Amino acid sequence: MSSHRQALDELRIDRKTPTRRGFFGWGLAILLLLGTIGAGAAWFLSRPRAAVVRTVVVQEAVAGGQRTLLNASGYVTARRQATVSSKITGKVIEVLVEEGMRVEAGQVLARLDASNVEASLRLAQAQLESARKALGETRASQDQAERELRRLSQLSADRIISPSDLDRAEAEVRTLVARLDRQQADVAVAEREVAVWQQQLDDTVIRAPFAGIATSKDAQPGEVISPVSAGGGYTRTGICTLVDMSSLEVEVDVNESYINRVVPGQPVEATLDAYPDWRIAAKVVAIIPAADRQKATVKVRVGFDALDSRILPDMGVKVAFQSQDDAAPTQTGLRIPKTAVRRLNGQEVVWIVHNGRVERRAVTTAGTAGDQITVAAGLSRGERIVVEGPEDLAEGTAVTEAKP
């Protein structure tokens, strides 16, 4: 019996004592996990970064329909632009406009200190009320004097009173009538005075004269503002500058020797200095009938066919005055900027952006016009090509397109 018990004890597992193999297995798993994380971090930190490039869309080149007659440069201007000021001199207590804010016509832009005006208005209102009460008193006295005159007239007809008593009663009525007229005029004057102070109170609130964008904020609370310059430069003359963005156009100075090439309604192609790859359709609005003697130029107004939020006042712009030929326009190729074409191994190539990577494409050029080049073969309309980017671009390089 004891031998059987001893055999069973030898087969029993002691769970209180951990085995060395269990510890070794867990340690190996942790080491493998740490190694995997370290390898992933090393790959993330050493992975190639996407190159930043600027791209444009390939456009069709048109020939035979329009040709450039004259090139000039000018600036974007606004036909409706104003430095909003106040009609009176006062201290600014609140400014409700910031740069870049769009405002509507009649919107409150600022408020001036109106404490003195409000006090004067209350005084004028009290004087008006006093004049109206005095007028009521005089009317009551006039009614009594007229009744007294009628009574004395009856007594005089019965020879009960002397004529002098009747004369005094008549004089009293005429005096009260004249006093009533004067007091009615006093009430009208008091009403005018109240209206004047009410207008001055309204003038302490500065409103937008038209809808537009505030391009500058020229005053702060606590400063004194005046419609005229005063105080040795310490007095502000405006709250803000307001521009009507729907009135933007281009002003160009054309040499008087070439003004005969410009006519009203003539098509114009405008190019902003900030966006040299963007061609904006425009036309001649008017030719100012006066020449500048000093510069020998004539001012020409050019209006945009369609406005865009990228067009801002005072931007530099180049314009090309074009002539519309009778022949129908024909497509002669694709037009791209010169900077997009690169020469590799004696061949002209461009980089195409497709699915976030660049592809090299050989092209055949057919001529240049200004900063543009015409491509006869190798590209398709609507493809995006790189115009600015690293010099070491390679086939399949990941890129990120820079925002304009």
Per-residue model confidence as pLDDT tens digits over 338-384: 888 888 877 888 888 888 888 888 888 877 766 778 887 888 888 88
Domains of the chain listed by start with CATH number: 51-62+330-401 (2.40.420.20), 65-79+245-324 (2.40.30.170), 85-114+205-243 (2.40.50.100), 115-196 (1.10.287)
Residues 159, 254: Cα–Cα separation, whole Å? 102
Give pLDDT, residue 61.
60
Residues 45, 398: Cα–Cα separation, whole Å? 16
Give pLDDT, residue 39.
65
Nearest to 110 by CA among 100, 102, 118, 98: 98
Question: Long-range contacts: 290-299, Cβ < 8 Å, 24+?
Answer: 291/256, 292/253, 295/253, 296/255, 296/256, 296/257, 297/253, 297/254, 297/255, 297/256, 298/253, 298/254, 298/256, 298/259, 299/251, 299/252, 299/253, 299/254
Q: How far, in whole angstroms, is CA 337 from its chain's centroid?
A: 31
Query: In sequence order, which residues have a C-beta less than 8 Å from that of residue 163 and are 6 or more positions away?
Result: 156
Give pLDDT, residue 66.
65
Per residue in 220-258, pLDDT (tens digit) is 999 988 887 655 556 788 899 999 999 999 999 999 999
Structure tokens at 95: 């400014």
Question: Long-range contacts: 355-363, Cβ < 8 Å, 24+?
Answer: 356/50, 356/398, 356/399, 356/400, 357/396, 357/397, 357/398, 357/399, 358/53, 358/386, 358/393, 358/394, 358/395, 358/396, 358/397, 358/399, 359/395, 359/396, 360/395
Residues 256, 289: Cα–Cα separation, whole Å? 11
Nearest to 134 by CA among 186, 97, 196: 186
Q: How many degrees, rounded to 5, is the angle at CA 83 between CA 77 and CA 84? A: 135
Quickly state the pLDDT bin for 389 (edges 50, 70, 90).
confident
Residue 329 pLDDT > 60: no
Decide: 257 and 295 in contact? Cβ < 8 Å. no
For CA atoms 240, 245, 247, 248, the dihedral sign is positive
Per residue in 132-183, pLDDT (tens digit) is 888 888 888 878 877 877 777 777 776 777 777 777 777 877 888 888 888 8
pLDDT, mean over the chain: 81
Residue 19 pLDDT > 70: no
Per residue in 102-134, pLDDT (tens digit) is 999 999 999 999 999 999 999 999 999 988 888
Residue 399 pLDDT > 70: yes
Q: Are strands 399-401 and 51-57 parallel, antiparallel or unpaired?
A: parallel
Give pLDDT, residue 326.
47
Per the confidence metrics, is the pTM higher than 0.85? no
Nearest to 282 by CA among 81, 72, 137: 72
Per residue in 30-59, pLDDT (tens digit) is 777 777 776 665 544 455 556 787 888 887
Angle between the N-to-C axes of helices 115-157 and 163-203, in degrees from 0 to 180, rounded to the nearest 10: 160
Quickly state the pLDDT bin for 288 (edges 50, 70, 90).
very high
Q: What are phi and psi of 231, to 5 degrees?
A: 80, 20
Per residue in 177-224, pLDDT (tens digit) is 888 888 888 889 999 999 999 999 999 999 999 999 999 998 999 998
Give pLDDT, residue 328.
45
